[in-house]
């Protein structure tokens, strides 16, 4: 009995040790980025892999924030991300409500089209997206970036909402009709408040995608650097022959902190939303 208990304890320790090693290996690049952002160029090249700066400095953060226009890039990213997330949330929520609650001619065909669009690489849509934004004369503007980021089917979010709305009892809608509610009033006053976990999941996922987007902002802001986002601004630190590694590390820290804070604040609803989507 004691021998079996000892074996289980040893097995548990080995499993925990293995998971700890994997966790440290996974988080090491992030810790390295934070460490490099507080090193000067000389110390960085002398001690590339070290995690503890010998002479910590905030010069890299100050330099990229003031001289590399990261303050402008940060504000641009916040604006583009906020409005892109808002548009995606409203569009996918309404579409998911229609797909999950109503039967109409061609519903299966529409769903098949949405599902098949998952197989289309995002890179292949850059040219048509650019042409659409160009025809609207919005290339190089924040509005053009917002519309480009919010465009697309966003099938995963649509399926999350559709699956969620499909599980809601029909008695709620019948009671709303008895009270004289139309489509939009039923949606906004009754259905929408129920979607908090799913909506939070969509907000987190779309915020991460919009915040870290690179290719579309790069293409759409080539002629107007003042509209660049953080991801494109980071790319500017890579020259033809040199790379400002400490600047990139400091910029990466600035770019990732808001996403980490967002996830920490909303992780409870994120887990509930994913669990609800899986159970449904």
pLDDT tens for 172-192 read: 877 878 877 787 888 888 888
Q: Which of 134-138, 178-182, 258-262 has the lowest mean pLDDT?
A: 178-182
Question: Mind listing the pLDDT tens digit for each residue in 120-130?
Answer: 777 788 888 88
Q: Which residue has the tokens 């080539």?
A: 222
Q: What is the pLDDT of residue 153?
A: 67
The answer to whether 70 touches 64, Cβ cutoff 8 Å, is: yes
DSSP secondary-structure letter at 1?
-
Taking the C-alpha atoms of residue 24 and residue 35, their distance in angstroms, rounded to an integer, is 15
DSSP secondary-structure letter at 48?
S
270 pLDDT exceeds 70? no
Question: Mind listing the pLDDT tens digit for each residue in 204-242?
Answer: 889 988 998 888 898 898 888 888 898 888 887 776 566
Choose the most confident range, by mean pLDDT, from 67-71, 78-82, 187-191, 253-257. 78-82
Percent of residues, the chain, with pLDDT higher than 70? 93
Phi and psi torsions of 238, nearest 5°:
-95, 110
Question: Mind listing the pLDDT tens digit for each residue in 82-99?
Answer: 999 999 999 999 888 888
Query: In b/e form, how buried is each residue of 17-44, taking b as 16+ CB within 10 angstroms?
Result: eeeeeeeeeeeeeeeebbbbbbbbeebb
Q: What is the pLDDT of residue 127?
A: 87
Tell me the whole-structure pTM to 2 decimals: 0.82
The answer to whether 31 touches 51, Cβ cutoff 8 Å, is: yes
Taking the C-alpha atoms of residue 104 and residue 100, their distance in angstroms, rounded to an integer, is 11
Taking the C-alpha atoms of residue 57 and residue 64, their distance in angstroms, rounded to an integer, is 13
The pLDDT confidence band at residue 75, using thresholds 50, 70 and 90, is very high
Please spell the DSSP secondary structure of 93-152, one letter per residue. Answer: HHHHHHHHH---TTHHHHHHHHHHGGGS-GGGGHHHHHHHHHHTT-TTSHHHHHHHHH-S
Structure token digits, residue 128? 């048509």
What is the chain's percent helix, strand, coil content, to nearest 5?
Answer: 80, 0, 20
Compute, in degrees rounded to 10, the torsion defined by CA atoms 40, 46, 52, 57: -10
């Amino acid at each position: 009995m004691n021998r079996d208990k000892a074996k289980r304890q040893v097995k548990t320790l080995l499993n925990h040790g293995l998971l700890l090693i994997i966790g440290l290996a996974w988080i090491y690049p992030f810790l390295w980025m934070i460490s490099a952002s507080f090193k000067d160029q000389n110390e960085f090249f002398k001690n590339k892999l070290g995690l503890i700066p010998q002479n910590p400095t905030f010069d890299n953060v100050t330099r990229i924030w003031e001289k590399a226009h990261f303050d402008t890039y940060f504000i641009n990213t916040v604006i583009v991300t906020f409005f892109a997330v808002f548009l995606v949330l409203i569009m996918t929520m309404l579409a998911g409500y229609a797909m999950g609650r109503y039967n109409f001619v061609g519903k299966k065909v529409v769903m098949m089209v949405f599902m098949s669009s998952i197989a289309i690489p995002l890179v292949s849509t850059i040219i048509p997206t650019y042409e659409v934004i160009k025809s609207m004369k919005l290339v190089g503007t924040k509005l053009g970036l917002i519309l480009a980021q919010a465009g697309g089917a966003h099938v995963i979010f649509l399926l999350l909402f559709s699956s969620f709305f499909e599980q809601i009892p029909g008695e709620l809608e019948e009671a709303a009709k008895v009270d004289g509610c139309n489509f939009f009033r039923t949606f906004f006053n009754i259905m929408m408040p129920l979607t908090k976990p799913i909506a939070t999941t969509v907000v987190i996922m779309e915020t991460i995608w919009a915040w870290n987007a690179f290719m579309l902002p790069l293409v759409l802001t080539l002629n107007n650097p003042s509209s660049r986002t953080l991801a494109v601004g980071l790319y500017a630190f890579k020259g033809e022959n040199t790379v400002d590694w400490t600047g990139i590390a400091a910029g990466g820290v600035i770019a990732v902190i808001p996403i980490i804070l967002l996830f920490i604040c909303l992780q409870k609803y994120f887990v509930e939303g994913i669990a609800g989507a899986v159970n449904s």
